[in-house]
Amino acid sequence: SRGMIQYVFKQFMDSLKVKKRETVGTIVGRDPYGNIYYELPAQPQLGKRRPTRWYNTADTNKADVLDKDRWAGFDSDLPSEWESWLRHRRTEPPTDDEVMKSLAIGEMKKVNAAKLEMKRLQELEAQGLDTGPPKPQDHEKTPYPKYKEFEVMPGEHEYQEKDRWEKFRNPYMEDVKK
């Protein structure tokens, strides 16, 4: 029983030796957005059963170990193949061909969606219906007044006329009369 206690104590102390773990990962790959992906191999003797994976964003060059620093790269573009690798859903990192094929399919879907939307708008115009954006309903109206000198969202002012959704709009969609 004494040997068992020593074994458990040794394993516990070894798991606390975080300083022994490598801190510089190997570069596994890059994506078309400029993100760089890293990996540290698993070290079971130090209590790390899975490899540690993270990426540096191209904009901020700030490391984000997924689910550790929630604000490091939350708004960076991240291909789904790389995200699945970061979350350990796939063991091997994606190839450039896989990522480029997926991005090409995404662009094709945007083009097709824009064509369908334009066709739908033309049909509505032919019927004489309003094609503008929907009017706010009563339950959607804000109960509080908005003042130009106060921020609506931290760091954003209403009067700046900045379109928050500009990045997410379909680039193939023609501007619709409002």
Q: pLDDT per residue over 11-34, tens digit each?
A: 887 777 655 555 578 899 999 988
Structural tokens at position 32: 């078309």
High-pLDDT (> 90) share of the chain, %: 33
Residue pair 25/38 in contact (Cβ under 8 Å)? The answer is yes
Assessment of whether the complete model's pTM goes beyond 0.75: no
Amino acid at 39: E
Range picked from 39-43, 55-59, 103-107, 160-164 for highest mean pLDDT = 103-107
Quote the CA–CA distance of 178 and 166 in Å, as a whole number. Answer: 16
**Which pLDDT value is given to residue 178?**
41
Q: What is the pLDDT of residues 113-123, one digit of tens each?
A: 999 999 999 99
Let me know: does 31 contact 99? Beta carbons within 8 Å.
Answer: yes
What CA–CA distance (Å, rounded) separates 1 from 96?
Answer: 55
